[in-house]
Amino acid sequence: MSLLVVGSVALDSVETPFGVKEDVLGGSATYFSTSASFFAPTQVVAVVGEDFPQAHLDFLKARGVDLEGVTREKGRTFRWKGRYGFQLNEAETLDTQLNVFQSFSPRLPEKYRDAQYVFLGNIHPELQSQVVDQVKAPKLVAADTMNFWINGSRAALLKTLKRVNLLFVNDAEARQLTGEHNIVRAARAILGMGPDRVVVKRGEYGALLFEQDHIFACPAMPLAEVFDPTGAGDTFAGGFMGTLAIASQLNTETLRRAMVMGSVMASFTVEKFSLERLREVTRSEIRARFAEFKRLTHFEDLGPLED
């Protein structure tokens, strides 16, 4: 089933304790669509500037990603600069240059309007809303956001949330959005803002799925080497939405499996800088890591426990 993403296609400059990279491929739509492309045909709506290397678009095309909705405009590509300390769970944003995103108004090609699964990647909430306006009858609209928009465009974000079925946030964003420190309370508060499902990502501690009556917890893969967490969240969302888009149903069971596939895909992204690991990963590695997750979390029934 068709999967649509709107988000940033970016040039990132990233500093981690393990190195510095300037103007490398990044952006929420880039990580999302690359990750989702292992599972389902993915359509992208985004804008790049005159300076964006054609080779990056060729890479996405080679992965089967549909770029009809990506336009190239006069001006510079969106740029994000971030830094991570040894505590790799949260990025410190050093600079955000919206550039061509400043005057962007997403227009969906006709064939994108039938999309069943929609992911509103991390961009201005008004732009996210404009995409929802143009999709005819989506089965699931999911969104992501970040502190930049929670602080800077809160009213617009709250409006967008009313039109969203599922929100992806990290724990710091969940706290910031709701004013609740406790994650369970924060998730419940988000469920009162519009979405009926919330995924709270907690970096190396895994992710939690909250539905009205259920919580599902998925660990992160315990990795000995983590180089660059940039894009982990969008890669997670790509694996999650990609597996849902090819599932025969949308229910608690398929959502739980989607949580695991999100975690599988994110575990690859963080192993190298930018999209380097996602470029080389194979479906058989993905299958193997999915099986590792199953072993990682499997345990026997308790059996009798006598008094």
280 by DSSP, 3-state: which?
helix
Place of tokens 């103007």: 23
Render 44-65 in DSSP notation, one character per residue: EEEEE-TTS-HHHHHHHHHTT-
**Shortest distance, position 122 Cβ to ligand AMP, whole Å:** 4
Nearest-approach distance from CB 93 to ligand AMP, in angstroms: 6
Would you call 161 helix, strand, or coil by DSSP? helix
Cα distances from 153 to residues 148, 149, 156, 157, in angstroms, run 8, 5, 6, 6
Q: Which residue lies nearer to ligand AMP by CB, 112 or 119?
A: 119
The least CB distance from residue 80 to ligand AMP, in Å, is 4
The least CB distance from residue 115 to ligand AMP, in Å, is 20
Shortest reach from residue 124's CB to ligand AMP, in Å:
7
Closest distance of CB 132 from ligand AMP, Å: 17
The set of residues, in sequence order, having a beta carbon less than 8 Å from that of 113 and lying 6+ positions away, is: 134, 135, 136
Q: Which residue number, 12 or 15, has a Cβ lying nearer to ligand AMP?
A: 12
CB atoms within 10 A of CB 216: 17
**Is the separation of the CB atoms in 10 and 47 below 8 Å?**
no
Query: Cβ closer to ligand AMP: 129 or 230?
Result: 230
Structure tokens at 31: 């990580």
Check the CA dihedral 190-43-24-105 and report its sign. negative
DSSP assignment of 204-271: GG-EEEEESS-EEEEPPP--S-----TTHHHHHHHHHHHHHHTSS--SHHHHHHHHHHHHHHHHHHTT
- Output 125 or 195, the one with its CB closest to ligand AMP: 125
Site of interaction with ligand AMP (CB under 6 A): 8, 10, 12, 26-28, 31, 80, 96, 122-123, 146, 148, 230-234
Shortest Cβ contact with ligand AMP: which residue? 26
Give min distance, CB of 296 to ligand AMP, in A. 23
| Distance, CA of 300 to CA of 296 (rounded, Å) | 12
